[in-house]
Amino acid sequence: MPRPPNPWRRDLERIPPQPRRLARYALQLERALRGRRGRTFNRALVALLLPLLDEQVVAGWLPRTDAQDDDDWDDSSSPFEPDLEEDDTRALHKRLASALERLPARFMARLAAADGDAALNPSVALLCDSLHLGPVEQAVLDSLACYVDAEPRRR
């Protein structure tokens, strides 16, 4: 049986810093909670992971219609929020769950290297330096700042 194509992008450095950081935090959260919750995905997690996914592979996961061809990929729409039947959405989430379960550790290492550890928000960096906060506190504040700043993209 042929191995399914790798859905994870290889060009992590080309992803803008904020969406890359949010996707990294979402992956870390998903991995930490694995086994402690059901395999259902909330829309926020899926939306945050999208920048890490190869658009062509994800497009192949979508059901094909007569009017659809490969040039119809629209960057403004999410492949996880098209007008799909409930069964199609369930199948799409099942593929994402499978991809997450097979996520190689080397991908997480490449993502961490591309992303770095410095706070993206200068206010968070200043606050952490002034209050001598550690890396965990910085990560929490940075993730909140990134999430708030990314609010328009989450709609």
d(CA 138, CA 155): 26
In degrees, rounded to 5, the angle at the alpha carbon of residue 14 between the alpha carbons of residues 10 and 15 is 90
CA 18 and chain centroid, separation: 11
d(CA 99, CA 73): 21
pLDDT digits (tens, 9 = 90+) for 58-117: 888 877 665 544 455 455 445 544 455 667 777 777 888 888 888 888 999 999 999 999
Residue 145 has pLDDT above 70, yes or no: yes
d(CA 64, CA 75): 18
d(CA 7, CA 101): 12
* Residues 52 and 125 grouped into a single domain: no
Last residue of a domain, one of 101, 116, 131: 116
pLDDT confidence of residue 31: 82
* Residues 72 and 131 grouped into a single domain: no
pLDDT confidence of residue 116: 92
Range of the domain at 109: 1-116
CB 115 within 8 A of CB 146: no
* Residues 22 and 46 grouped into a single domain: yes
* Residues 109 and 77 grouped into a single domain: yes
* Residues 142 and 73 grouped into a single domain: no
Mean pLDDT of 12-39: 83
* Residues 112 and 152 grouped into a single domain: no
* Residues 20 and 64 grouped into a single domain: yes
CB 46 within 8 A of CB 96: yes
d(CA 142, CA 95): 30
d(CA 86, CA 36): 25
* Residues 99 and 56 grouped into a single domain: yes
Total number of domains in the chain: 2
Whole-structure pTM value = 0.75
* Residues 112 and 140 grouped into a single domain: no
Q: If we measure between CA atoms, which residue out of 101, 85, 88, 16 comes closest to residue 50?
A: 16
* Residues 76 and 148 grouped into a single domain: no
* Residues 153 and 92 grouped into a single domain: no
* Residues 10 and 53 grouped into a single domain: yes
